[in-house]
Protein backbone atom coordinates (compact mmCIF):
# COMPACT_ATOMS: atom_id res chain seq x y z
CA UNK A 1 0.00 0.00 0.00
CA UNK A 2 1.68 3.15 -1.16
CA UNK A 3 0.40 6.55 -0.38
CA UNK A 4 2.03 9.79 -1.34
CA UNK A 5 3.81 10.93 1.73
CA UNK A 6 5.18 14.29 2.64
CA UNK A 7 8.84 14.16 3.53
CA UNK A 8 11.16 16.31 5.53
CA UNK A 9 12.40 17.73 2.24
CA UNK A 10 8.98 19.11 1.45
CA UNK A 11 8.82 20.72 4.83
CA UNK A 12 12.31 22.15 4.47
CA UNK A 13 11.37 23.74 1.21
CA UNK A 14 8.23 25.32 2.56
CA UNK A 15 9.97 26.55 5.69
CA UNK A 16 12.94 27.78 3.72
CA UNK A 17 15.49 25.84 5.70
CA UNK A 18 17.67 22.83 5.10
CA UNK A 19 16.35 19.33 5.35
CA UNK A 20 18.51 18.63 8.37
CA UNK A 21 17.02 21.57 10.16
CA UNK A 22 13.71 19.83 9.84
CA UNK A 23 15.17 16.68 11.25
CA UNK A 24 16.60 18.57 14.16
CA UNK A 25 13.34 20.29 14.87
CA UNK A 26 11.79 16.93 15.49
CA UNK A 27 14.55 15.71 17.76
CA UNK A 28 14.00 16.48 21.42
CA UNK A 29 17.48 17.74 22.24
CA UNK A 30 19.07 18.89 19.06
CA UNK A 31 20.57 22.30 18.63
CA UNK A 32 18.06 24.39 16.76
CA UNK A 33 17.04 27.91 17.46
CA UNK A 34 13.57 28.27 18.80
CA UNK A 35 12.75 30.43 15.83
CA UNK A 36 13.75 27.85 13.27
CA UNK A 37 11.95 25.12 15.07
CA UNK A 38 8.79 27.10 15.21
CA UNK A 39 8.94 27.85 11.49
CA UNK A 40 9.55 24.20 10.73
CA UNK A 41 6.79 22.98 12.96
CA UNK A 42 4.39 25.37 11.38
CA UNK A 43 5.30 24.23 7.89
CA UNK A 44 5.00 20.63 9.02
CA UNK A 45 1.58 21.26 10.38
CA UNK A 46 0.45 22.80 7.14
CA UNK A 47 1.67 19.86 5.13
CA UNK A 48 0.58 17.24 7.61
CA UNK A 49 4.13 16.03 7.92
CA UNK A 50 5.15 13.35 10.40
CA UNK A 51 8.61 11.88 10.66
CA UNK A 52 8.86 8.44 9.14
CA UNK A 53 9.68 6.07 11.94
CA UNK A 54 10.96 3.44 9.58
CA UNK A 55 13.57 5.66 8.03
CA UNK A 56 14.61 6.79 11.44
CA UNK A 57 14.96 3.25 12.67
CA UNK A 58 17.08 2.32 9.72
CA UNK A 59 19.67 4.90 10.41
CA UNK A 60 19.65 4.90 14.18
CA UNK A 61 19.55 1.14 14.14
CA UNK A 62 17.03 1.14 16.87
CA UNK A 63 13.49 0.15 16.19
CA UNK A 64 12.17 0.97 19.62
CA UNK A 65 10.10 -2.14 19.36
CA UNK A 66 9.60 -5.07 21.67
CA UNK A 67 8.22 -8.36 20.47
CA UNK A 68 5.75 -10.01 22.77
CA UNK A 69 5.13 -13.65 22.12
CA UNK A 70 2.09 -15.37 23.52
CA UNK A 71 0.56 -18.73 23.03
CA UNK A 72 -3.00 -17.92 23.91
CA UNK A 73 -5.08 -15.31 25.64
CA UNK A 74 -7.68 -17.77 26.89
CA UNK A 75 -6.24 -17.56 30.33
CA UNK A 76 -7.07 -14.14 31.79
CA UNK A 77 -3.78 -14.25 33.61
CA UNK A 78 -1.92 -13.70 30.39
CA UNK A 79 -4.22 -11.15 28.88
CA UNK A 80 -3.67 -9.22 32.04
CA UNK A 81 0.08 -9.57 31.76
CA UNK A 82 -0.08 -8.50 28.14
CA UNK A 83 -2.13 -5.44 28.88
CA UNK A 84 0.11 -4.28 31.67
CA UNK A 85 3.31 -4.96 29.81
CA UNK A 86 1.95 -2.99 26.87
CA UNK A 87 1.27 0.01 29.00
CA UNK A 88 4.66 -0.25 30.60
CA UNK A 89 6.56 -0.27 27.33
CA UNK A 90 4.36 2.28 25.69
CA UNK A 91 5.04 4.66 28.54
CA UNK A 92 8.74 4.30 27.80
CA UNK A 93 8.44 5.03 24.12
CA UNK A 94 8.51 1.47 22.88
CA UNK A 95 6.24 -0.13 20.39
CA UNK A 96 4.87 -3.58 20.86
CA UNK A 97 4.76 -6.20 18.20
CA UNK A 98 2.49 -9.08 19.03
CA UNK A 99 3.20 -12.62 17.92
CA UNK A 100 0.88 -15.49 18.55
CA UNK A 101 3.12 -18.52 18.61
CA UNK A 102 1.85 -21.58 16.85
CA UNK A 103 2.64 -24.99 18.19
CA UNK A 104 5.51 -27.14 17.07
CA UNK A 105 7.76 -26.58 14.11
CA UNK A 106 6.12 -23.42 12.86
CA UNK A 107 7.48 -21.65 15.89
CA UNK A 108 10.88 -21.51 14.25
CA UNK A 109 9.43 -19.35 11.53
CA UNK A 110 8.07 -16.99 14.10
CA UNK A 111 11.50 -16.71 15.64
CA UNK A 112 12.94 -15.97 12.25
CA UNK A 113 10.27 -13.39 11.67
CA UNK A 114 10.98 -11.74 14.98
CA UNK A 115 14.66 -11.49 14.26
CA UNK A 116 14.09 -9.97 10.85
CA UNK A 117 11.88 -7.37 12.44
CA UNK A 118 14.86 -5.90 14.23
CA UNK A 119 13.10 -5.76 17.54
CA UNK A 120 15.22 -4.69 20.45
CA UNK A 121 13.87 -7.19 22.89
CA UNK A 122 11.60 -10.16 23.16
CA UNK A 123 9.16 -10.87 25.93
CA UNK A 124 7.76 -14.36 25.96
CA UNK A 125 4.72 -15.27 28.00
CA UNK A 126 4.45 -18.90 28.98
CA UNK A 127 6.28 -19.98 25.87
CA UNK A 128 8.24 -23.18 26.08
CA UNK A 129 11.28 -23.07 23.89
CA UNK A 130 14.02 -25.53 23.25
CA UNK A 131 17.68 -24.98 23.94
CA UNK A 132 18.30 -24.79 20.23
CA UNK A 133 15.70 -22.10 19.74
CA UNK A 134 16.97 -20.20 22.73
CA UNK A 135 20.52 -20.18 21.45
CA UNK A 136 19.39 -19.15 18.00
CA UNK A 137 17.83 -16.02 19.39
CA UNK A 138 20.64 -15.35 21.79
CA UNK A 139 23.08 -15.62 18.90
CA UNK A 140 21.74 -12.52 17.22
CA UNK A 141 22.16 -10.60 20.42
CA UNK A 142 18.56 -9.71 21.09
CA UNK A 143 17.71 -9.74 24.78
CA UNK A 144 14.97 -12.16 25.71
CA UNK A 145 12.97 -12.52 28.87
CA UNK A 146 10.66 -15.41 29.44
CA UNK A 147 7.85 -15.07 31.89
CA UNK A 148 6.56 -18.20 33.52
CA UNK A 149 8.57 -20.82 31.81
CA UNK A 150 12.02 -22.13 32.35
CA UNK A 151 14.52 -23.08 29.72
CA UNK A 152 17.79 -24.76 30.25
CA UNK A 153 19.86 -22.01 28.70
CA UNK A 154 21.79 -19.35 30.51
CA UNK A 155 21.71 -16.74 27.79
CA UNK A 156 18.08 -15.96 28.40
CA UNK A 157 16.49 -14.20 31.33
CA UNK A 158 13.60 -15.75 33.12
CA UNK A 159 11.04 -14.41 35.51
CA UNK A 160 8.70 -16.73 37.27
CA UNK A 161 7.23 -17.33 40.63
CA UNK A 162 8.14 -20.03 43.04
CA UNK A 163 6.05 -22.75 41.51
CA UNK A 164 7.58 -25.43 43.64
CA UNK A 165 6.80 -23.57 46.83
CA UNK A 166 3.26 -22.93 45.64
CA UNK A 167 2.72 -26.59 44.91
CA UNK A 168 4.24 -27.44 48.23
CA UNK A 169 1.89 -25.12 50.03
CA UNK A 170 -1.12 -26.60 48.28
CA UNK A 171 -0.05 -30.12 49.15
CA UNK A 172 0.56 -29.17 52.73
CA UNK A 173 -2.78 -27.45 53.11
CA UNK A 174 -4.72 -30.35 51.71
CA UNK A 175 -2.78 -32.98 53.58
CA UNK A 176 -2.96 -31.14 56.88
CA UNK A 177 -6.70 -30.73 56.69
CA UNK A 178 -7.40 -34.40 56.72
CA UNK A 179 -7.95 -35.22 53.08
CA UNK A 180 -7.27 -38.81 52.20
CA UNK A 181 -7.29 -38.97 48.44
CA UNK A 182 -5.63 -35.92 46.99
CA UNK A 183 -5.36 -35.70 43.24
CA UNK A 184 -3.41 -33.49 40.87
CA UNK A 185 -5.07 -31.88 37.90
CA UNK A 186 -2.07 -31.03 35.79
CA UNK A 187 -1.48 -28.36 33.16
CA UNK A 188 0.44 -28.66 29.95
CA UNK A 189 2.52 -31.77 30.16
CA UNK A 190 6.19 -31.03 29.99
CA UNK A 191 5.83 -27.34 30.76
CA UNK A 192 8.17 -26.18 33.46
CA UNK A 193 5.46 -24.55 35.54
CA UNK A 194 3.46 -27.73 35.59
CA UNK A 195 6.37 -29.87 36.58
CA UNK A 196 7.52 -27.57 39.33
CA UNK A 197 4.06 -27.19 40.80
CA UNK A 198 3.58 -30.90 40.72
CA UNK A 199 6.97 -31.60 42.27
CA UNK A 200 6.35 -29.25 45.18
CA UNK A 201 2.92 -30.71 45.67
CA UNK A 202 4.14 -34.29 45.69
CA UNK A 203 6.94 -33.58 48.07
CA UNK A 204 4.56 -31.99 50.56
CA UNK A 205 2.41 -35.10 50.42
CA UNK A 206 5.43 -37.31 50.78
CA UNK A 207 6.53 -35.50 53.90
CA UNK A 208 3.28 -36.53 55.46
CA UNK A 209 3.70 -40.04 54.28
CA UNK A 210 1.03 -39.66 51.65
CA UNK A 211 0.99 -40.36 47.96
CA UNK A 212 -0.95 -38.66 45.25
CA UNK A 213 -4.31 -40.27 44.67
CA UNK A 214 -4.20 -39.70 40.96
CA UNK A 215 -2.98 -37.45 38.19
CA UNK A 216 -4.68 -36.27 35.08
CA UNK A 217 -3.99 -33.38 32.73
CA UNK A 218 -6.15 -30.49 31.58
CA UNK A 219 -3.53 -28.64 29.53
CA UNK A 220 -4.22 -25.47 31.45
CA UNK A 221 -7.52 -25.16 29.65
CA UNK A 222 -11.09 -25.02 30.83
CA UNK A 223 -12.68 -27.60 28.58
CA UNK A 224 -9.86 -30.08 28.84
CA UNK A 225 -9.99 -29.79 32.60
CA UNK A 226 -13.67 -30.63 32.59
CA UNK A 227 -12.96 -33.83 30.72
CA UNK A 228 -10.13 -34.66 33.07
CA UNK A 229 -12.38 -34.14 36.06
CA UNK A 230 -14.98 -36.50 34.66
CA UNK A 231 -12.32 -39.11 34.13
CA UNK A 232 -11.02 -38.70 37.66
CA UNK A 233 -14.49 -39.13 39.11
CA UNK A 234 -15.51 -42.07 37.06
CA UNK A 235 -13.04 -44.24 38.95
CA UNK A 236 -14.17 -46.47 41.81
CA UNK A 237 -12.18 -44.50 44.35
CA UNK A 238 -12.77 -40.80 43.83
CA UNK A 239 -10.58 -37.98 45.13
CA UNK A 240 -11.64 -35.88 48.09
CA UNK A 241 -9.31 -33.06 47.11
CA UNK A 242 -7.83 -31.64 43.93
CA UNK A 243 -4.89 -29.39 43.37
CA UNK A 244 -5.20 -27.87 39.92
CA UNK A 245 -2.16 -26.39 38.25
CA UNK A 246 -4.05 -23.23 37.40
CA UNK A 247 -7.24 -21.42 38.33
CA UNK A 248 -8.99 -21.92 35.05
CA UNK A 249 -8.78 -25.66 35.51
CA UNK A 250 -9.65 -25.43 39.19
CA UNK A 251 -12.83 -23.60 38.32
CA UNK A 252 -13.58 -26.10 35.58
CA UNK A 253 -13.26 -28.90 38.10
CA UNK A 254 -15.47 -27.06 40.53
CA UNK A 255 -18.15 -26.50 37.92
CA UNK A 256 -18.10 -30.12 36.90
CA UNK A 257 -18.30 -31.41 40.43
CA UNK A 258 -21.06 -29.11 41.53
CA UNK A 259 -23.26 -28.97 38.50
CA UNK A 260 -22.63 -32.22 36.76
CA UNK A 261 -21.69 -34.71 39.43
CA UNK A 262 -23.75 -33.32 42.27
CA UNK A 263 -20.84 -33.01 44.66
CA UNK A 264 -20.25 -30.22 47.10
CA UNK A 265 -17.15 -28.08 47.22
CA UNK A 266 -15.50 -28.04 49.67
CA UNK A 267 -17.60 -30.47 51.75
CA UNK A 268 -17.14 -33.42 49.42
CA UNK A 269 -14.10 -32.26 47.53
CA UNK A 270 -11.64 -29.49 48.29
CA UNK A 271 -10.07 -27.57 45.44
CA UNK A 272 -6.96 -25.44 45.27
CA UNK A 273 -5.86 -23.52 42.19
CA UNK A 274 -2.91 -21.44 41.05
CA UNK A 275 -2.62 -17.88 39.62
CA UNK A 276 -5.40 -15.94 41.33
CA UNK A 277 -7.16 -14.71 38.23
CA UNK A 278 -10.04 -12.30 38.74
CA UNK A 279 -12.67 -15.05 38.55
CA UNK A 280 -11.04 -16.86 41.45
CA UNK A 281 -12.33 -14.24 43.82
CA UNK A 282 -15.82 -14.17 42.39
CA UNK A 283 -18.11 -15.37 45.18
CA UNK A 284 -19.47 -18.26 43.14
CA UNK A 285 -16.06 -19.80 43.01
CA UNK A 286 -14.28 -18.30 45.99
CA UNK A 287 -11.27 -20.29 45.06
CA UNK A 288 -8.40 -20.96 47.41
CA UNK A 289 -5.33 -20.43 45.34
CA UNK A 290 -1.76 -19.25 45.06
CA UNK A 291 -1.41 -15.71 43.90
CA UNK A 292 1.27 -14.92 41.40
CA UNK A 293 2.71 -11.43 41.91
CA UNK A 294 1.71 -10.34 38.46
CA UNK A 295 2.59 -6.68 38.81
CA UNK A 296 6.00 -7.47 40.23
CA UNK A 297 6.68 -10.07 37.58
CA UNK A 298 6.04 -7.53 34.89
CA UNK A 299 8.16 -4.90 36.53
CA UNK A 300 11.02 -7.33 36.90
CA UNK A 301 10.69 -8.71 33.41
CA UNK A 302 10.49 -5.36 31.74
CA UNK A 303 13.31 -3.91 33.78
CA UNK A 304 15.47 -6.87 32.93
CA UNK A 305 14.72 -6.40 29.27
CA UNK A 306 15.30 -2.67 29.30
CA UNK A 307 18.53 -3.02 31.23
CA UNK A 308 19.86 -5.50 28.75
CA UNK A 309 18.78 -3.32 25.86
CA UNK A 310 20.53 -0.34 27.35
CA UNK A 311 23.52 -2.38 28.39
CA UNK A 312 23.10 -1.18 31.93
CA UNK A 313 23.45 -4.71 33.11
CA UNK A 314 24.03 -7.00 30.27
CA UNK A 315 23.87 -10.29 32.08
CA UNK A 316 20.75 -12.39 31.80
CA UNK A 317 19.18 -13.28 35.07
CA UNK A 318 16.79 -15.75 36.54
CA UNK A 319 14.32 -14.28 38.95
CA UNK A 320 12.00 -16.28 41.14
CA UNK A 321 9.28 -14.41 42.98
CA UNK A 322 7.26 -15.64 45.95
CA UNK A 323 3.63 -16.64 45.68
CA UNK A 324 0.97 -15.67 48.17
CA UNK A 325 -1.61 -18.14 49.46
CA UNK A 326 -5.14 -16.84 49.12
CA UNK A 327 -7.30 -18.70 51.55
CA UNK A 328 -10.87 -18.69 50.38
CA UNK A 329 -13.70 -21.20 50.56
CA UNK A 330 -12.98 -23.92 48.06
CA UNK A 331 -10.82 -25.94 50.39
CA UNK A 332 -11.48 -26.97 53.94
CA UNK A 333 -8.97 -24.98 55.91
CA UNK A 334 -6.56 -26.17 58.53
CA UNK A 335 -3.57 -24.84 60.28
CA UNK A 336 -0.36 -25.54 58.49
CA UNK A 337 2.56 -26.43 60.67
CA UNK A 338 5.63 -27.50 58.74
Tell me 322's DSSP state: P
CA neighbor of 193 nearest in space, from 126, 284, 292: 126
CA neighbor of 110 nearest in space, from 145, 148, 137, 150: 137
Q: 279, 291 in Cβ contact below 8 A?
A: no
Write the interaction track for DNA spanning residues 304-323; mark x where CB under 7 A is met and - where it is not: --------------------
Q: 163, 254 in Cβ contact below 8 A?
A: no
CB of 236 to a copy of itself, least distance (A): 25
Residue 20 binding: pick among a copy of itself, DNA, none (C-beta 5-8 Å cut-off by kind) = DNA
CB of 88 to a copy of itself, least distance (A): 10
83-to-80, 105, 283, 298 alpha-carbon distances in Å = 5, 28, 25, 10
Q: 169, 323 in Cβ contact below 8 A?
A: yes
Separation of CA 157 from chain center: 13
Among 20, 72, 130, 180, binds a copy of itself (CB under 8 A): 72
Residue 8 binding: pick among DNA, a copy of itself, none (C-beta 5-8 Å cut-off by kind) = DNA
List the interface residues with a copy of itself, window 156-215 (CB under 8 A). Answer: none
User: Number of C-alpha atoms within 13 angstroms, CB side, residue 318?
Assistant: 9
Measured from the CB atom, is 99 or 164 closer to a copy of itself?
Answer: 99
List the interface residues with a copy of itself, window 250-309 (CB under 8 A). Answer: 251, 255, 258-260, 278-279, 282-285, 309
List the interface residues with DNA, window 50-109 (CB under 7 A). Answer: 50-52, 55-56, 58-61
144: phi > 0 → left, psi -120 to 50 → alpha, else beta; which?
Answer: beta
Burial class (CB in 10 A: 0-12, 13-18, 19+), 116: exposed
Name the residues that contact a copy of itself, by CB under 8 A: 1-3, 5, 48, 50-55, 57-58, 61-63, 65, 68, 70, 72-74, 76, 79-80, 82-83, 86-87, 90, 95-100, 112-113, 115-118, 120-121, 139-143, 222, 251, 255, 258-260, 278-279, 282-285, 309-311
Name the residues that contact DNA, by CB under 7 A: 5, 7-9, 17-21, 23-24, 26-27, 31-33, 35-36, 49-52, 55-56, 58-61
Amino acid sequence: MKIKSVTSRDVAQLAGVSQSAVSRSFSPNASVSAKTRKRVLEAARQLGYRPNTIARSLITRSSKTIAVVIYSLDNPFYSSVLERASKFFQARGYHLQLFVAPLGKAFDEVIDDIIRSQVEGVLMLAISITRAQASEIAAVGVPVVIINRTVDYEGISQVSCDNYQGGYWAGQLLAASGHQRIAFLGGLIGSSTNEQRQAGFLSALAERGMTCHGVDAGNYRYEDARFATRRMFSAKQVPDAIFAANDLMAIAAMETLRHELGLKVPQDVSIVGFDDIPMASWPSHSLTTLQQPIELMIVKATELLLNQINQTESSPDHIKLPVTPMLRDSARSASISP
